[in-house]
Structures are given as C-alpha cells and as structure tokens.
Amino acid sequence: MTQLRTLTFDAIIIGGGGSGLRAALQLAQSGKQTAVLSKVFPTRSHTVSAQGGITCAIGSADPNDDWRWHMYDTVKGSDYIGDQDAIEYMCNEGPKAVFELEHMGLPFSRFDNGRIYQRPFGGQSKDYGKGGQAARTCAAADRTGHALLHTLYQNNLKNNTVFLNEWYAVDLVRNANNDVVGVIAICMETGETVLIKSKATVLATGGAGRIYASTTNALINTGDGIGMALRAGFPVQDMEMWQFHPTGIYGAGTLVTEGCRGEGGYLINKDGERFMERYAPNAKDLAGRDVVARSMVLEVLEGRGCGENGDHVMLKLDHLGEDVLMKRLPGIVELSRTFAHVDPVKEPIPVVPTCHYMMGGIPTNVNGQALTVDADGNDRVINGLFACGEAACVSVHGSNRLGGNSLLDLVVFGRAAGMHIEETLNQGIEYMEASQSDIDAAMKRLNRWNESGSGETVPELKRDLQTIMQNNFGVFRKEDNMQEGVKKLDDLRARIANAWLPDKSDMFNTARIEALELDNLMEVAEATAIAALERRESRGAHSREDYPDRDDDNWLKHSIYHPADKTLSKRDVNFSPKTVDTFQPKIRTY
C-alpha cells in the first residue's frame, strides 16, 4: 500500500457551515493552525438556507426579555429531554454570541431605535409561559442563515483560516487507544487521497435530511459526520428525533420559514378554516413545530386537506400586504413564485410537513467534546473528537427543536468547541501516532468502492433508502410498520455493501462522493430506524400511534444507539442547571 501524503494541523474542522466556521474563527483568532475541510465552498453549506432567524434574548423587541424565559421555552419545546445545563449555557451565552456576529458585520434588520429586529417564532413565551407570545428571533429579513454564513466566512478570511474547499472526509483515523488522531480525506479536484493528522478533529458536518424522500435539506446533507462516527464504533444519541417542518412547499420540499407565521400568516384547510385554533388554542400557528406538523397531518387524514388529492394545507400570507411581505419575507415571495407557482401576495402557498432537522447526533458536552458511554453506563470523553452544530447532540433540542434555536446552537457551541480546543492545545496534548493498520482501517470503505466491479448503482439504492424512511419512519410511526422498515434497511445494507461505482476517474468524480455519501445515509437511517422502533412512547417529534402518550417513567431519557451490536440504551437527561432551578417536566400544551 502506497504512502499517503500527510497534512498536519492543530485542529481540523470538517464542515464549513455555521458551527464549523464559528469554531474555526475562534481557533484562527487564537493563532492555532486551523483548517476547515468542506465538501463544498463554505458559503454553499446548508446554513445558507436558514431563513427566519436566530433566537436569543437580546432584549431588543422587549427590554425586559430574559434568557431564562428562553431557557424555559427551549426545555418545554424539547419535551423535557433537552439537557438543562446545555440549554442554560446556550441561552445565557447567546446574547454574547449574537452581538459578536453583529460586530462582525452581520446585516441584521433593525427596529426604528437602531437595535436588531426580532420577530415572534413558534414556542416562544414571556415569563415562563405566563406572559403570552414573545418576539425573540433576531432576523436579517428572511435570509438570516445566508447573512450569518457569509459573515462567518468573511471573518475567517480576515483571520487567515486555511480552507480545504471541495475536499471530502472519508473516515476517522483512530490510534490503538481509540483516540481520534485525524481523518482520511479526498481532494475532489485532483482525486488525491490524503491523511490529515490533527490533535482535534471537529465534526461539524450538519444534518442528514437526505435520508428522507421529502426534505427541506440541501443535497449535501448526508450525515457524513454521523456516518464516520458510527463506523468508528462511537454511539449516537436521540436519532429517532427528526423534526418535520410544518411548511415545506408542497411538491418541491423547499422551506417556507416559520417567520411567515411569526409575521402573522396562518394555516388553513380546504374549508378555509384556521385549524390550529382547535389544536393549540393559545399559541395557534406558533405552537411547537411537532404540534403544528401533526395537526396538519391530522387535517389531511380527516379529509380536510387541500388540492385534488387533498394531501396538503395552505399557508395564508396575502392579508399581510405586499409591503410587509417584500420587506420582511422577500425570499419567501421569490421561493413561492419559483417552486409553487404561487404569488403569496395574492394567494396562499400549498405546504406540507417536510423533514427538516435532526435533533439527534453525536453526544457531546457543552465543550463540544464527543462522548461515548462505557460498559457501566458512564459518559467518557473521546480523545481528539469534537462535534458541534446539527451533527452534535449536546442536547439543547431534545425531542423537538424550536425555530431559531439551530442558528444559536451553531454559533454558541461552535464558539465553545473552539475555545475548549484552544485551551486544550495550550495545555499540550499528545496522542499515540496512528499505525499503518489504523490508517488502512480508515481506508477500507474507500478501497471497497474503488475496487467494486459490478452490482447495483448508487441512485437506485439511495431512492430505495429514502422511500423506506419516508414510508416507515415519517410523522406518525407504528411498531409493525417500523419493524418492516428495519428489515428492509437490513436488506438494503447488504445491497449497498455489494454496490458498484462505475466511474473510477480521479478528477472531480462526484459519483464517488455520492457513493461515499450513500454509506453515511445508510448509517444514519439505520440508527434512526432502530432508535424509533425501540422508543415506545410519543415525545416531541417522535409520535407513535401505538404509544400515543409520553412515558416519563421509562423514557425521560436520551436514547443511545450503539453501532457495534445495533442496540439501544438509555442515558440520563441533565436536570441540573448551574444558576437556575430545574424546570420539572409538565404536560406540554400550547
């Protein structure tokens, strides 16, 4: 086996989205040799598609706003399996992180007094749910993700971060002690395979919405970090928790921000009824996303859906007037015209719940250190491995993320991971070098594809995977249906293991990348399926027809999926915030 070219950095960050760039910025500012490895040019990462905003108690719309209220909402939104120490950290550090973004130049929309514009979003309240709807989501029109990602990229340029753009990470390299000491990566332009050595490997690879046939996620959201972690034998947490966003454009799957409802839009069924008034009398259309998505599906199932097939509902915006729409939601107007052939200034937009966000991921602490669970059920830090953003499960979102909390999660925990890595590097760490056999192990699946001679091809296998997930692990889930799904996935895994890569060329071979992505989709899908089957209750985004109630006695827990034997165990949720009292689980209504 030929020797690979080796690159060495203090820290390698895999993923050029919001969390990766925020972590990179922290490290670049501290003078550490930092590289961001991204399979697309960083501003093409999926953070760019985030629309509505970044939720944070900066006290602009309401000077009395309090981060503890935000914390309460987030804990409640998570259906009480969000870790309260992490949520406390995020909500408390949030304002600092948002002001930093503004100082970096993020073009937030403004109120007349010059402060950052904030809009109402789902699940937001004042005074611990007692003070009515809050407006806590800081926005740059409806292009907040775009503005945030470009700002972070720009500031990384300013701080001379090294970028390995259009490089693809294949697998983690572990030494004999199971410490992560680097990653195998492909430079896509030349096809060269390179060993990247680093004392800190950060998985900031984002979500994996592409396991579903209908998703708001970018084509690149294939769960590469989750796949790498699972193949390295590390566990993942709460993978059954997938958020279905209430308003994906019917047919196209593109996202229509919750900010539409925050600005005063609402959902109607075929009778023109504002049906959310029945399901959530107080918050109405601004209830938690899981609640709204389920209500929409129920409307359709009960025969009140719109359109020829009665399979969607409508989002009404025209009453807001053209001025508000063009000022606050210009991107939505553009997307509706392009993908729904509907002008929201005049008519409602056809929408349907669409896979949107992975609440689960690689379990980490608030410092971004990846965790595994030892035989006795105790958390143990994985040396050298970090995760942040959607790929990580800190867990601040529990079983249902609130709108606007993902962008906050990215910057707060990207920053935290960066700060912690800086500190660790300053203290000095040494891990044992990887041996040739360690490197060969990480090269295994790339070699498998490169040597494949015949078999099924990637597009059909991917389609089958997405169909299984869509049909068997959607908004409503049922034991027998999921069992069938798990079995089908098992067959699919065997088929993928024998699949064929016809194009073996080196230069910018996107077919090879898609094949490697398929492996990751498979890992994520299976973890999701098994976790969903095993969690026998309904909580947050996980709704089971056969177990319709929340079961706090047995399941006020994180689920941990172990890839080695494909089993699920439970992990305690943190109920010990440092500066506030614990929020005790209550019945969750909006």
Is there a contact between 484 and 551 (Cβ–Cβ < 8 Å)?
no
Write down the catalytic residue from 231, 289, 415, 477: 289
Residue from 37, 218, 370, 492 binding other proteins (CB under 8 A): 218
Site membership for other proteins, residue 41 (CB under 8 A): yes
Pairing of strands 193-203, 180-187: antiparallel
Is there a contact between 145 and 50 (Cβ–Cβ < 8 Å)?
yes
Pick the closer one to other proteins by CB: 301 or 326: 326
Site membership for other proteins, residue 254 (CB under 8 A): yes
Interface map 431-470 toward other proteins (x if CB under 8 A): --------------------------xxx-----------
Q: Which stretch binds other proteins (CB under 8 A): 150-158, 291-299, 386-394, 402-410?
A: 150-158
Residue from 64, 510, 567, 582 binding other proteins (CB under 8 A): 510
* Minimum CB–partner distance for residue 360 and other proteins (Å): 23
Residue from 33, 154, 175, 452 binding other proteins (CB under 8 A): 154
- Tell the burial category of 1 from Cβ atoms under 10 Å away from its Cβ (0-12, 13-18, 19+): exposed
Site membership for other proteins, residue 146 (CB under 8 A): yes
Site membership for other proteins, residue 357 (CB under 8 A): no
Short-list 6, 273, 43, 276, CA closest to 148: 43
Residue from 6, 64, 111, 491 binding other proteins (CB under 8 A): 111
Short-list 381, 343, 378, CA closest to 362: 381
- Tell the burial category of 572 from Cβ atoms under 10 Å away from its Cβ (0-12, 13-18, 19+): exposed
Inter-CA distances, 575 with 128, 405, 501, 539, 541, Å: 17, 20, 48, 17, 21
| Number of shown-chain residues binding other proteins (CB under 8 A) | 61
- Tell the burial category of 455 from Cβ atoms under 10 Å away from its Cβ (0-12, 13-18, 19+): middle
* Minimum CB–partner distance for residue 150 and other proteins (Å): 7
DSSP 128: T
Inter-CA distances, 468 with 134, 471, 536, Å: 39, 5, 20
Site membership for other proteins, residue 209 (CB under 8 A): no
Q: Which stretch binds other proteins (CB under 8 A): 43-51, 81-89, 290-298, 432-440?
A: 43-51
> Tokens representing 203?
């998985």
Site membership for other proteins, residue 155 (CB under 8 A): yes
Report the length, in residues, of the chain.
590
Q: What angle do CA 514, 515, 516 make, to 5 degrees?
A: 90
- Tell the burial category of 270 from Cβ atoms under 10 Å away from its Cβ (0-12, 13-18, 19+): middle
Q: What is the 3-state secondary structure (H, E, C) of 243-290?
A: EEEEEEECCCCCECCCHHHHCCCEEECCCCCCCHHHHCCCCHHHCCHH
Short-list 325, 218, 315, CA closest to 275: 315
- Tell the burial category of 569 from Cβ atoms under 10 Å away from its Cβ (0-12, 13-18, 19+): middle
Residue ranges in 268-287 that form contacts with other proteins under rule CB under 8 A? none
Residue ranges in 48-67 that form contacts with other proteins under rule CB under 8 A? 48-49, 58
Pick the closer one to other proteins by CB: 145 or 398: 145
Pick the closer one to other proteins by CB: 33 or 49: 49
Q: Which stretch binds other proteins (CB under 8 A): 36-44, 372-380, 384-392, 530-538?
A: 36-44
Interface map 163-202 toward other proteins (x if CB under 8 A): --------------------------x-------------
Site membership for other proteins, residue 511 (CB under 8 A): yes
Distance (Å, rounded) from C-alpha 165 to C-alpha 42? 7
Residue from 5, 6, 64, 105 binding other proteins (CB under 8 A): 105
* Minimum CB–partner distance for residue 574 and other proteins (Å): 30
Pairing of strands 54-55, 118-125: unpaired
Pick the closer one to other proteins by CB: 255 or 300: 255
Catalytic site residue 289?
Answer: yes
Task: Say whether 15 counts as a known binding-site residue.
Answer: yes
Residue from 12, 25, 116, 373 binding other proteins (CB under 8 A): 116
Report the binding-site residues. 15-20, 38-53, 224, 245, 257, 356, 390, 401, 406-407
Name the residues that contact other proteins, by CB under 8 A: 40-41, 43-46, 48-49, 58, 95, 98-99, 102-105, 107-116, 140-141, 143, 146-147, 150-151, 154-155, 157-158, 189, 218-220, 252, 254-255, 331, 334-335, 338-339, 457-459, 502-503, 505-511
Which residues are documented as binding site for FAD? Answer: 15-20, 38-53, 224, 390, 406-407
Active site residues: 289
